[in-house]
């Protein structure tokens, strides 16, 4: 099982955790958060413990480890790990904002331009007139920054993204070392300026904004195997090899879920699972919350 105990405030989530034998208690070393990405982000901003995100049934949330329906299967048969997620610390006068995705600096009225100068360390990097500017982490590069035309940055890269939004001068994204101090200064606009953390927490800007890397947050993720690896001494038909590769990538799945992901007919998936089970590569378990469902899990991994 991924975890023996978790903290959880939501009643639906607590019921599911109780049903699979996970102890729920206040102050547990890992906190489970039920909701959408904004709820997980709020927890990551405020809590230094590992955060396990759980989304409502049928809703795919990039920050969630699973939805509520598939959570029991994952906790019982999956493998979990904790990854560090960079956080940003923005100083606005006496106010400090913490962000996981980005710090956005914009006029309080939309479709209004602002002038600004950005320093990276002691060096002037950008002088611009734009709708605003984003300072994003690698995680945030796939959120607001991506929709504003910025590049996607791989998780683990030790960089930050500085992105002018709709620059009048055509300024593009600037990628900087995440150890640098970024200062947005000489800000001018017809309307008050705001700094916004992850689209949720706001502070009025009356001078300049200084952004630094803060202590990282921790996010629980699924451990994924290497795709398509099968022990070299085992011969498999193509369909079984394909199903095995999917299970190595995705973790425990039902036959229906494998069929949906793979696009194979259910009869083909059924035969592939029979072959994999006979070869000792896959085991079947009953879903602890619905004994009509069988869950299939890879039990032998390649040593190559």
Which one is predicted more confidently, 28 or 291? 28
108 and 181 belong to one structural domain? yes
59 and 158 belong to one structural domain? no
96 and 203 belong to one structural domain? yes
pLDDT-based confidence at residue 65 (cuts at 50, 70, 90): confident
58 and 160 belong to one structural domain? no
Query: Which residues span the domain enclosing 304?
Result: 224-304
Q: What does the pLDDT read at residue 227? A: 44
pLDDT in tens, 172-211: 999 999 999 999 999 999 999 999 999 999 999 999 999 9
- List, in sequence order, every residue forming a beta bridge with 105; answer none if it has no partner: 133, 195
22 and 66 belong to one structural domain? yes
Residue 302 has pLDDT above 60, yes or no: no
Using a pLDDT cut of 90, give the percent of the chain over it: 64
91 and 204 belong to one structural domain? yes
Q: What is the CATH number of the domain that holds 233?
A: 1.10.10.10
Q: Which of 185, 215, 245 is the last residue of a domain?
A: 215
4 and 114 belong to one structural domain? no
61 and 100 belong to one structural domain? no
Task: Give residues with Cβ within 8 angstroms of 103, minimum separation 6.
Answer: 88, 90, 97, 134, 135, 136, 195, 196, 197, 209, 211
pTM (predicted TM-score): 0.77
168 and 241 belong to one structural domain? no
Q: Which of 21, 44, 78 is the last residue of a domain?
A: 78
Task: Give residues with Cβ within 8 angstroms of 235, minimum separation 6.
Answer: none
Q: What is the CATH number of the domain that holds 6?
A: 3.40.50.10330
Q: Which of 59, 78, 97 is the last residue of a domain?
A: 78
9 and 48 belong to one structural domain? yes
- If one counts the domains in the chain, the total is 3
153 and 90 belong to one structural domain? yes
DSSP label of 208: -
72 and 103 belong to one structural domain? no
Residue 300 has pLDDT above 60, yes or no: no
pLDDT in tens, 101-146: 999 999 999 889 999 999 999 999 999 999 999 999 999 999 999 9
């Amino acid at each position: 099982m991924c975890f023996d105990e978790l903290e959880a405030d939501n009643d639906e989530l607590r019921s599911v955790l109780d049903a699979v034998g996970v102890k729920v208690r206040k102050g547990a070393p890992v906190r489970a958060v039920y909701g959408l990405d904004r709820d997980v982000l709020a927890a990551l901003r405020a809590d230094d413990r590992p955060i396990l995100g759980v989304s409502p049934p049928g809703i795919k949330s990039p920050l969630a480890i699973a939805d509520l329906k598939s959570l029991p299967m994952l906790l019982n048969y999956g493998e979990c790990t904790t990854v560090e997620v960079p956080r940003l610390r923005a100083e606005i006068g006496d106010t400090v904002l913490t962000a996981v995705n980005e710090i956005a600096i914009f006029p309080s009225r939309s479709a209004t331009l602002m002038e600004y100068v950005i320093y990276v360390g002691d060096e002037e990097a950008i002088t611009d007139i734009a709708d605003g500017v984003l300072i994003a982490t690698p995680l945030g590069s796939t959120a607001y920054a991506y929709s504003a035309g910025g590049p996607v940055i791989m998780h683990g890269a030790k960089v930050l993204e500085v992105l002018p939004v709709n620059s009048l001068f055509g300024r593009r994204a600037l990628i900087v070392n995440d150890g640098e101090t970024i200062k947005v200064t000489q800000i001018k606009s017809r309307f008050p300026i705001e700094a916004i953390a992850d689209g949720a927490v706001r502070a009025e800007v009356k001078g300049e904004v200084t952004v630094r890397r803060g202590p990282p947050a921790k996010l629980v993720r699924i451990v994924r195997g290497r795709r398509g690896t099968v022990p070299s001494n085992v011969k498999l038909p193509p369909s079984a090899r394909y199903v095995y590769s999917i299970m190595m990538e995705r973790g425990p799945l039902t036959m229906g879920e494998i069929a949906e992901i793979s696009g194979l007919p259910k009869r083909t998936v059924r035969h592939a699972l029979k072959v994999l089970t006979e070869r000792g590569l896959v085991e079947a378990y009953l879903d602890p919350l619905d004994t009509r469902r069988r869950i299939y899990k890879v039990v032998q991994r390649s040593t190559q």
